[in-house]
Amino acid sequence: MLRTVLGWVMAVGLWELVGRTLLAGRHLVGTPSGIVAKLVDNAEVYGRGLWFTTREAALGYLLGNLAAVALALLVVLLPGVERLVLRFALVVYCLPLVALGPLLRLVYGFGDGPQITLAAFAVFYLTLVPLLVGLRAVPQSWLDLTATYGRGRWTTLVVIRARASLPYLMAGLQATVPAAFLGALVGEFTGAERGVGVLSILALRSLDTDGLWALMLLSTAVSLLGYLLVAWAARRLAVEQPTVLLSTPGHGRGRSASERLLRALGGILVTTSVVLAAWVGVFAVTGLNPYFAKRPWDVWDWLVSSPESGAHRDELLTAALETAAVAIPGYFAGLLLGVVLATLFSLSPRLRRALTPVAVALRCVPVIAIAPLLVAALGRGAFGTAVVVAIMTFFPTLVSCLYGLAQLPGQVADVFATYATPSTRVLLLGRLPAMAPAFFASARIAAPTALLAATVAEWLATGTGLGNMMAVDAATSRYTSLWSTVVVVTLVALAAYALVEAVERRVLRVVAPEQLRW
């Protein structure tokens, strides 16, 4: 106990020292004393901002999770619609939140509506996927049990699936606490009137590093509190840890390659039609002003058929390449760093024990809150944006990999122990393959997030790339351009997700075939 306290005192002292000497004037890290001073001086302003942000995040969290549960139940009762629902949900997850902020603001007018909606969007998919896994991860004999008494889907859902999926739901509910903050913050970055995100932007403009740190720590603390609250509720409900990790459904078993391709193309066609129909339908029903609520044909016109479309495409391509140039290296750097650090930790049991609680805390950092901080610290160039992307990718990767590395079954570990295998070889032959499902699950989810991080950083600072293009479009009311960019960014995010998923299937087919069928 004393040693822990001493350790913390020394760490904070070192931080203060480094902040005051080596890094003074670099706007990278504030000093503990400065942060505390900010917190005290601005207690009322920060407190109010935090209250607004927390309320938005909480409402979005509630709505997004309710939507996810409702859709999951729909899928269980009507299994035919599962692929469609999952694809549609993925499209929603891949929407560029930065551009939705200003667009939603036009719809809702002033207020918290956009932030709440964005929080719900950020949450929705992350709960839906594990919940569906949980609702389906039920032993066949439990299903036979209800069938034995001639009962149907409804009874099975109520008596068996609902309870069996609880651990998965709780895992989703925990993981989405920081995601809700992310959504709310992105909404605040892109033009809200109040909240921590707005305060962060103000602090960023005045190069107030201590203030940025204080705000980031406040968001993290609230997010961590929410996370612990859900974890406590899960324990109270006596919920066990879920065993299967967020895996996508296994499609196309026992089908030929051409058949799979045809089915995939058919699926894309159906999803595209549904998305387009929803787009047109929602706009028609709500009667949104076509001045800003552009329809698919307006986008088509802008991108493809109008005389200036060539210039538009060039503009978009240039911006996309700029974004890719930071997002791709950042993404891979984040993945690599996550894997390498998790691997190093796993080689030392002491380090692992010490870092597991830290990893839990890291999971709760609404990483996007760091974006303004990094932009302030590293400058408004490409490097700063790439670092934002890398960090955004790194945190979830590290946590997933630490979890995954521990998934080597005890009996297999015993086999290695029988031959006194050195831990590096156990790592190579046992732990890394065992880690693959967890790693890919997080890499898949992180691909659209990397794009989000890049566009947020660009929106906030750099003046390049798709994020900047959307910012300029929104500020200058170039709504057709904005909608077209939204479409393109969504498609790019979907492509990135699909690409990671394709690699995942290749790898898992070798190291974890059981993950591909459920």
Binding site for another protein (CB under 8 A): 139, 141-142, 144-151, 155, 159-160, 163, 238, 240, 253-255
Residue type (1 letter), 400: S
Q: Are 227 and 174 in contact (CB under 8 A)?
A: yes
The smaller minimum CB distance to another protein, of residues 159 and 498, is found at: 159
Q: Are 412 and 432 in contact (CB under 8 A)?
A: no
Name residue, tokens 């651990």: 167
The smaller minimum CB distance to another protein, of residues 163 and 425, is found at: 163
Min dist CB 360 to another protein, Å, is 25
The smaller minimum CB distance to another protein, of residues 255 and 353, is found at: 255
Rg (CA), the chain: 24
Distance CA 83, CA 347 (A): 40
Distance CA 429, CA 214 (A): 44
Min dist CB 169 to another protein, Å, is 14
Min dist CB 173 to another protein, Å, is 18
Q: Are 442 and 400 in contact (CB under 8 A)?
A: yes
Min dist CB 166 to another protein, Å, is 8
Min dist CB 437 to another protein, Å, is 23
Min dist CB 259 to another protein, Å, is 11
Name residue, tokens 């947020």: 456
Q: Are 449 and 126 in contact (CB under 8 A)?
A: no
Task: Work out the number of other CB atoms within 10 angstroms of the CB of residue 1.
Answer: 5
| Those residues with Cβ within 8 angstroms of residue 429's Cβ, 6 or more apart along the chain or in another chain | 416, 421
Between CA 189 and CA 196, with CA 190 as vertex, the angle to 5 degrees is 25
The smaller minimum CB distance to another protein, of residues 253 and 350, is found at: 253
Q: Are 118 and 456 in contact (CB under 8 A)?
A: no
The smaller minimum CB distance to another protein, of residues 163 and 205, is found at: 163
Distance CA 422, CA 435 (A): 18
Q: Are 155 and 71 in contact (CB under 8 A)?
A: no
**What element of type H or E holds 183?**
helix 166-189
Distance CA 19, CA 57 (A): 32
Min dist CB 504 to another protein, Å, is 21
The smaller minimum CB distance to another protein, of residues 3 and 236, is found at: 236
The DSSP 8-state label assigned to residue 165 in this structure reads T
Min dist CB 254 to another protein, Å, is 3
Min dist CB 253 to another protein, Å, is 7
The smaller minimum CB distance to another protein, of residues 149 and 419, is found at: 149
The smaller minimum CB distance to another protein, of residues 156 and 464, is found at: 156
Q: What is the dihedral of CA 359, 93, 95, 504, to 10 degrees?
A: 80
Buried-state track 382-405, b at ≥16 Cβ within 10 A, e below 16: bebbbbbbbbbbbbbbbbbbbbbb
The smaller minimum CB distance to another protein, of residues 44 and 144, is found at: 144
Min dist CB 460 to another protein, Å, is 47
The smaller minimum CB distance to another protein, of residues 240 and 414, is found at: 240
Distance CA 119, CA 182 (A): 7
